[in-house]
Structures are given as structure tokens and as C-alpha cells.
Structure 1
Amino acid sequence: MLRIHFAAGDLARTRVSDGPDPLWESVLSLHQLQERRQDPALDAWRRHVMHHGRSSLSVLLPLVPARGYFPDFLTPAESADGFEAGLDALLSTPRSQLRHQIGRLAVDRPVEPWLRSVAEGATPALRRLDEALREYRHHAFGTTWHHIRARVEADRARRTRTQWCHGTDAMLRTFAPCLYWRPPVLEADYPVDSEIHLEGRGLLLIPSYFCRRRPVALADPSLPPTLVYPACPSGPGRTPPVTAPGSQSAQLARLMGHTRAAVLESLGTDCTTSELARLAGVSLSSASEHAAVLRGAGLISSSRRRNCVYHRLTPMGLALLDGRR
């Protein structure tokens, strides 16, 4: 059992990550390749990776065994800023941490000689790890990243909407039965007994496409508290449910039109106009036009970052979707 203990201020510092974490998805997808109870939905993906990614798998699988411990340096916090940022942080891990974590990996199983070179921070070994992660990313996520992102975005939209409108306590209750919130403790089924005391640091929750059965936490309690959990499979990329005539979605469609309502409901996390068009199933020009109307009504806000315009729901927009006055 995993028990995460919240103290004063931890609820206010608890949040859901901004999107899929590429290195966490890499590690957890390596678990899925070795899973005994394989998910049929991943069969085609698994065959593709096993066929095309053999050289990278020979390097990575010894680091990520099917069961038990894997090194925390494989999933640095900087990965939240993208694959390149995460990989730079991984390759810059201090030698003392590499040595300690590879040593812990060797407690349960013999490690290959090249992993001992990783533990010493040897440049050729780290270069080999860098190349393997890049190759694996190409074969494992080259054509599937949009599916991963769509599921994670849909899950994040649900959690953050609840947090905006009802608070973190209510948001934590949405994770049952994967997680159980019994204030001030968050509990999860776990292969080993583990206690994490947040002590005012808060908790980062990361929805994951390849986390399928139970949540995963960092092994080192001194690292920023992080919990990766299975992203809810509903949302963009699946057949949408039939909308009942009296439902909130139907009422929004009657108020502002089906297309504009779809654009509003597609906004769960920050997304560009292009992403908004894809999620809502409309053209780029249509998404831009509807976003301008929604922004004028105070339901969304927009900001420019480099060459892209990002949109997000305002508290008023969240409240409207939630059905509150």
C-alpha cells in the first residue's frame, strides 16, 4: 500500500501536470512491453516496437525491469518541459546519484557491464543511453504521440475543471478507485508498503497513457513528490457519448451552437489554435473565429508565445461547463 500524507498547505500546492511527460511515458511503455497481462489495445503498438526498436530495447530494458525498482534518474522533473529538456537533465545526473541508483538496481538482479559505466558517468555509456532513448522515442511514439496527448489532455481537463470549481479536496476524490482520498492521506494499491510525507511540498499528479494498472511514485522520498496515474480513457480520440437532450452539453449547444460549444468543451488545458481545431474537429479558421467570440465573452483567455497563440478556460468558462451559476 502507498500512503501519501498531506500536511498544512499541501492541498494548495497539489496540481495536475500540464501534459504528458515524455520520459515517464517512455519508462512506463517499456513496462507495458514486458507486462504478462497484456492490454489487447496495445497489441499493434507492441508488435511495431518489438520489431523496429530491438537495438534500443537491448539497452533500455535492463534499466527498466518488468517488476520492482527502476532508477529515478530516468524520469527527471525537467521532462515536464519536453523530451529534450528531460534528456539533458537525465544526462547531467550527478555521478553520486547514478552510482547509488544503479547500485540499488543491482541489489535484485545482476547488471550488465555497460550499466556499471553509466553508474560512473562514463561519456561513452551516457552517449549510448542518449541514442537508445532517442531511437526508442522515434519507434514507440512517432505515430502515436497524438493519441497519448489526447488521452492525457482529456483526463487533465476533468481533474483541473473539478479543482477550479470545487477545490483540490473534491479533485482528489475523482481518482477512485485508482486512488482513495481519506483526508489527510491519499492511498493507492502498491506492490510494496511505502509512506510519503509531503511536508508542505505539495504533490504533482501526472496522468499517463501507458500507466495502466496502478499509480507509480518516485522511489526517493527526498525528490519532489510525484505520482503518475492511469489517464482516464474518455475524451478526444474516442467515439463521443450520445448527448442526452437535457444534458449540460445539449443546453450549451442550444445556447451557443454545436460548433462553438464543442470548441469550448475541448479546452481542458492550454492549447494552440491548431490543437483546438483538431480536438473540436473544425478547421483552423473556424477555431480561430470561435476562440475570438469566446474570448470576447470572457469564457477563455488567449496569450501569444513565440509564434503560437495559446487558449485556456477562464474561471467563468469553467463554471459554465460545470453547470454552476
Structure 2
Amino acid sequence: METMIGVIGGSGVYQIDGLDDAEWVDVASPFGTPSDQVLTGRLGGVRMAFLPRHGRGHVHSPTSVPYRANIDALKRLGVTDVISVSACGSFREEMAPGDFVIVDQFIDRTFGREKSFFGEGLVAHVSVAHPTCPRLSEACAMAARAAGVTVHEGGTYLAMEGPQFSSLAESKLYREVWGCDVIGMTNMPEAKLAREAELCYASVAMVTDYDSWHPHHGEVDIAEIIATLSGNADKARAMVAGLPALLGAARLPCPHGCDRALDTAILTAPDRRDPAMVEKLSAIAGRVL
């Protein structure tokens, strides 16, 4: 099987440079229209697809991002490994603006989004006890460090609905009581959907601010965030450039089972499955259906 790296770019990351045979392509999905066209090509001999999560020009809010269509479109293109790049606030002094945090856990506080490909007529339950892929996360950490980025491996990401930033009371709750490390608005339900699609998923959270808990930084300042985003975007592109050499062109089975997440997940008996749902899920779950 051939490796294909899918990069989902967050705020500030709307383009990936240096792709050979670069082409923006339309991908039709039964789950709606993806955030934008997908930029395809090769980088270091490895196939790559880039999708700007908010669309070029930043037209989607965190709630309106078509998460299911995005993951389905990447799966249809042949993506095997998804790298999520997103801006975040930090709850830890040592996780400073400009640093990258390789997230390994989530607390999902979103409420206005479709969170599963499955449903009535075809029911499935996947495990997200460990929602990111250690192999892919390690590659991201190595590539980021090689690009000169300060990297923190491991961290809990609080996914909030937004689009407003946290109140001071919320920020203190997430930091002091719940023990979260970073906060953002877009990694959920994205990580859950990637698991349902049997895709390896790594989350690279790029710190832009200290949310509102920090006594010396005050509330989130959007002007400061935008300034930090520019530098983070350059670092993200440098990280992505180093991934092909680490992942290789030949795709081996995931040692952590991400690519087999549906082996025992589907509960609906074969003779009771809705044919329309089976067709709709042809890319996501075709291997087991």
C-alpha cells in the first residue's frame, strides 16, 4: 500500500508549498461539500493532500466546518495518514506562544456538530480511548524539532464550541480542575471521524496565546494571535516538508491498529443494514462492509 499524507491546515495555514505536480481538485462527498478543494501532489516522492480546514480566505467558523465531508474526501483520495495542524491557546506557562504541542488526548465540549458517520440503519461504536496515532505523532514531533520548533510531546486538548474565546472562569476550570494543557475549537469531532474512517491521526497544536487564565497576559488578544499565526504557519510548512522522509512511500499496517478500527465496531446485523447507508459509507467503511 502507498502512503498518502493528508494535512488539514488550521487558522493561518491555507497553502502548502513545494509540491510536485500540484493541483487543486474537487472531491465529491455524500456528506456534503468539503471546506475547499484539495491540493494534491507529491512531496519528497510521497503522495500528499492538503485541505484548508476553514477554506481559503477563512470562510468557515469552527462550528460550520464540514468535518464529515473533509475526512470522507481525504479517504476517497487515498489518504492513509492525517496530520491536523491547528491554532490553540495554552494553559501551561512552559507551552509558550510559538511552541507546538503534540496532542494525545481530548476533552470534547462541542455540541453543535455531527460527530459520527454512522447512525440509524448502520450503527457502529469505535474506541477513542487513545484518539491519536503514536507512530504518526512521533514523526510530527521529529519533523517539527528538525525544523527548529520547540515541541511538547503529549497534552490534553479541550475542544470548545466557540466561536467566542473562554471566560476567565472557564479558563481556570479547564486548567486547574480538569488538567487540560491546550484549548482549541476544531479537533473535535475531527479526531473521532478520522478514527471511524480508519485513518491514522496526529494533532499538532500551535500555541498562539495563554487563553485568559494567565495573570500577566490578560484575555486573548486577536491582534497578537494573528501575529503569532504567521510565524507558526511557516513552522508548520517546514514540519510538513520533513514528514515524507520519516514516513516513507510504502505504507505498512499501523502498529497501533488505527487502520483496523472498524474490525469489531459495527453492530448492525448484515441483513438489517440500510442499503443507502452502506452506499454512503462506501469510502469510510468499505473495507468491512
**Structure with greater proportional helix content:** 1
* Larger relative contact order, structure 1 or 2 (CA cutoff 8 Å, min sep 6): 2
Larger proportion of strand: 2
Q: TM-score, normalised by structure 2?
A: 0.27
Return the TM-score normalized by structure 1. Answer: 0.25
Which structure has the bigger radius of gyration?
1
